[in-house]
Chains A and B, each alone.
Chain A
Amino acid sequence: MQVVFYISGAIAILATVLMLTRLNAVHALLYLVVSLLAIAIVFYVLGAALAAALEVIIYAGAIMVLFVFVVMLLNLGETAVVEERNLLTVSMWVGPAILSAVLIAEFLYILSEESHANFPAPVEPKQVAAALYAPYLIGVELASMLLLAGVVGAYHPAGAE
C-alpha cells in the first residue's frame, strides 16, 4: 500500500506541474483531471473511501465538466475547427493517457490485494454520515445556503444584458 501511495502522490505532483505549464486550457484540464484522480487514490489508501468516491464524482466529474463547458463556450468561431484538429493529435493526449493507465493499474492492484495490513484504520461512510447529520448539522444547512447563493450569484453576472 505504501508503494501505491508514493506512486499516486508522484503522479499528482507531476500532473499538477504539467497542468501549470500548458498553454492550451483543454490540455491543462486533462492534466488537472489526472491529478484529481491520483489524489482520489491517495484518499482511498488513507482509508477515506467516501471522500475518494466524492473526489471522482464531484471534483473530477461535475466541477471539471463546468470548466470544460466554459472553455468550449469561449472557443466558438472558425478557430474552433482548427483547435479541434490540434486536440486530436497523438502527442496531446498521450501524456494524460499514460498517467491514467498507471492509476488504473494501481486501482486494479488495490482491488486484488486482500490484506490491508498497513492501512490506517478505514473510516466507514456510515460513521461519516452519523457525524455529519448530528454534530455538524448546522454546517450542512450553511453549505446548502452557500450553494443557493452560488446559483444566484452565477446567474446574475452570466445573464443577458
Chain B
Amino acid sequence: MIREGFILASILFALGTAGVLVRRNIMFMLMSIEVMLNAAGLAFIVAGARWSEPDGQILFLFILAMAAAEVSVGLAIVLRFYLQYKLLDADAASKMRG
C-alpha cells in the first residue's frame, strides 16, 4: 500500500497543478492549491506509515496550519479583488498597479 499511496499522492498533486494552470477563476485556483497541499500531506502520511513513526502526522499538522492561514489570506484577497473588479478572472489582476 506504500507505493500505491505515493502514486495516489502524485496523481492528486498533478491534478491540482493542472487545475492551477488551466482554470482562470481565482476560486478554482485556490481550490486546486488546496488539492496540491492535501496531496503533499498524503505523501507525508504515507512516508510516516512506512516506518510507523509519528513524524509524518506531525508534518501533516503543520501543513494543515499552513493551509488554514493560506486560505484565510487568499479568500480575503479574493473578496477584495471582487469588490474592485466585479469578476473573478485572474487575468484582470494584471491591471493592478502598485
Residues in chain A within 8 A of chain B (CB atoms): 2, 5-6, 9, 12-13, 16-17, 19-20, 25, 28-29, 32, 35-36, 39, 42-43, 45-48, 50-51, 54, 58-59, 62-63, 66-67, 70-71, 73-74, 120-123, 127-128, 130-132, 136, 139, 143, 146-147, 149-151, 153-158
Point out the residue from A63, A123, A130 that lies within 8 Å of B68, measured CB to CB: A63
Residues from chain B with a CB closer than 8 A to the CB of A45 are 1
Given A28-B28, A153-B76: A123 in contact with B11 (beta carbons within 8 A): no
**Pair A132/B61 contact, Cβ less than 8 Å:** yes
Closest approach, in angstroms, between the C-beta of A47 and any C-beta of chain B?
5
Q: Which of A2, A12, A151 contacts B72 (CB 8 A)?
A: A151
Q: Which residues of B contact A51 (CB under 8 A)?
A: 41, 45, 57, 60-61
Q: Does A154 contact B57, Cβ atoms closer than 8 Å?
A: no
A67 and B1 contacting across the interface, CB-CB below 8 Å: no
Q: Contact residues of B with A, CB < 8 Å?
A: 1-2, 4-5, 8, 11-12, 15-16, 18-19, 22-23, 25, 27-28, 30-32, 34-35, 38, 41-42, 45-46, 48-50, 52-58, 60-62, 64-73, 75-80, 82, 88
A120: nearest residue on chain B (CB-CB)?
B49
Taking the nearest CB of chain A, how far is it from the CB of B55, in angstroms?
Answer: 7
- Contacts known (A13-B15, A20-B28, A20-B32); A62 close to B53, Cβ less than 8 A: no
Contacting pair B35 A32 (CB below 8 A): yes
Q: List 23 A-B contacts (CB under 8 A).
A: A5-B4, A13-B11, A20-B22, A20-B32, A25-B28, A35-B38, A39-B42, A42-B42, A48-B57, A51-B57, A63-B34, A63-B67, A63-B68, A70-B27, A120-B50, A120-B52, A130-B54, A131-B54, A132-B61, A147-B65, A157-B73, A157-B76, A158-B80
Residue of A62, A123, A150, A158 near B79 (CB, 8 A) is A158
**Which of A20, A32, A36, A66 is the most central at the interface, judged by chain B CB atoms within 10 Å of its CB?**
A20
Q: Are A74 and B82 in contact (CB-based, < 8 A)?
A: yes
B53 to chain A, nearest CB (A): 7
Interface centre among A36, A74, A130 (most CB of B within 10 A): A74
Q: Are A17 and B15 in contact (CB under 8 A)?
A: yes
Contact A12 B12 (CB under 8 A): yes
Indicate if the CB atoms of A46 and B22 lie closer than 8 Å: no
In the complex, the answer to whether A62 meets B5 with C-beta atoms within 8 Å is: no
